[in-house]
Amino acid sequence: MSKLIDEIRFTQELIKKPSVTPKDLGAMNIVVKHLKKLGFKCKLMSFQEKGTDKIINLYAKYGSQSPNLCFAGHTDVVPAGDITSWSINPFSAKIKKGYLYGRGVSDMKGGIGCFIAAVSQFLKEHKKFKGSISFLITGDEEGIAVNGTKKVVEYLKKKKEKIDFCIVGEPSNRRKLGQMMKIGRRGSITTHLTVIGKQGHIAYPLEALNPATPIIKILDELKSKPLDKGNKNFQPSNLEITKISIDNSADNVIPSKANATFNIRYNTLHTFNSLKKYISKIVKKYEKKYK
């Protein structure tokens, strides 16, 4: 029980670091400190592609034999949003009625805490075992994800480091722990849509082109048509509109530009290229109509 309490305290310490992508703010060092106590050899590595933020990643390993079981996860979290909408400070990691609250508890600082608790108990009970245990932790999962896991895997391949099995601690169990295990993850494509119109006074709409009209129609068609019905292993693909913005300070002026962002989480019935063609076809249809 005392060990469990230690792991809860570790998770609380991790949650208290507001590591909203791409910021780390010391979150990765907390993981390193804890893994080193268990005897892991830790290697921190940073990657930064041109035009992106530098990201800190960790690969830690215990043992050198195969097979290598890897726990994969991330310390970065999404923004907390309106702080006043929270019942507690999202980065205070408070425990209320037996539950730990805070940004990242589920996705997935709590998952990392569970990883470490399980490994700690395993090493306590198995002083010698055939194989090795590793951790691949990134700070670039919730963002554009170009300087994280992908770069670490490329580095490991160059070093001829093999990972035989991988456990990802993403929050898939919605009702209770152990509810399900997934054989893979859905793909994700984020699209930034900009419609250029022609600015003008609202009293003279024939002299202008309001970009709000086509962008609303494009988004409506994309959202209203189901992408598929899912298959044996994956739920139906889903599109969610995340941003709609028009930078216009006047109420009597037709704007010159409208922007929107949407994300598609897709199953094995689609590919990045097939969805790109699908989106382009709809956009081009309205481009011709409102040209």
Average pLDDT of the residues in 248-254:
94
* pLDDT given at position 199: 96
Class of domain 2-168: alpha beta
The string over 40-72, giving b where at least 16 C-beta atoms fall within 10 Å of a residue's C-beta and e elsewhere, is bebeeeebeeeeeeebbbbbbbbbeeeebbbbb
Query: Is 107 noted as a catalytic residue in this protein?
Result: no
Domains 2-168 and 187-289 share a fold: no
Lowest mean pLDDT among 64-73, 248-257, 282-291: 282-291
**pLDDT tens per residue across span 18-71:** 999 999 999 999 999 999 999 999 999 999 999 999 999 999 999 999 999 999
CA dist., res. 98 & res. 202, Å (int): 57
| pLDDT of 185 higher than 90 | no
Share of the chain above pLDDT 70, in %: 97
* pLDDT given at position 192: 97
Tokens of 85: 């909408």
Q: Find the length of the chain.
A: 291
Domain boundaries, the chain: 2-168, 187-289
Average pLDDT of the residues in 175-191:
80
Q: Which amino acid is at 266?
A: Y
Q: Which of 76, 107, 140, 142 is catalytic?
A: 76
* pLDDT given at position 150: 92
The string over 154-170, giving b where at least 16 C-beta atoms fall within 10 Å of a residue's C-beta and e elsewhere, is eebeeeeeebeeeebbe
CA dist., res. 188 & res. 195, Å (int): 23
Q: What is the DSSP letter of 187?
A: E
Nearest to 157 by CA among 225, 59, 245, 234: 59
* pLDDT given at position 2: 44
**pLDDT tens per residue across span 205-219:** 999 999 999 999 999
| pLDDT of 1 higher than 70 | no
Q: Does domain 187-289 have CATH number 3.30.30.10?
A: no
Share of the chain above pLDDT 90, in %: 80
**pLDDT tens per residue across span 80-116:** 989 889 999 999 999 998 889 999 998 999 999 999 9
pLDDT band per the 50, 70, 90 thresholds, residue 4: low
Q: What share of the chain is helix, strand, coil (3-state, %, to 5)?
A: 30, 25, 45
Q: Which of 7, 107, 141, 142 is catalytic?
A: 141
pLDDT band per the 50, 70, 90 thresholds, residue 3: low
Query: Is 247 noted as a catalytic residue in this protein?
Result: no
**pLDDT tens per residue across span 116-133:** 999 999 999 998 899 999
| Contact criterion met (CB below 8 Å) for 253 and 197 | no
| Contact criterion met (CB below 8 Å) for 139 and 147 | no
What is the overall mean pLDDT for the chain? 92
Average pLDDT of the residues in 233-238:
93
- Sign, CA dihedral 141-143-147-151, equals positive
Which pairs from 117-120 meet CB under 8 Å and 24+ separation? Answer: 117/3, 117/4, 117/7, 119/38, 119/62, 119/71, 120/3, 120/7, 120/38
**pLDDT tens per residue across span 152-163:** 999 999 999 999
| pLDDT of 6 higher than 80 | no
Complete DSSP assignment for 104-166: TIIIIIHHHHHHHHHHHHHHHH-SS-SSEEEEEEES-SSS--SSSHHHHHHHHHHTT----EE
CA dist., res. 75 & res. 106, Å (int): 11
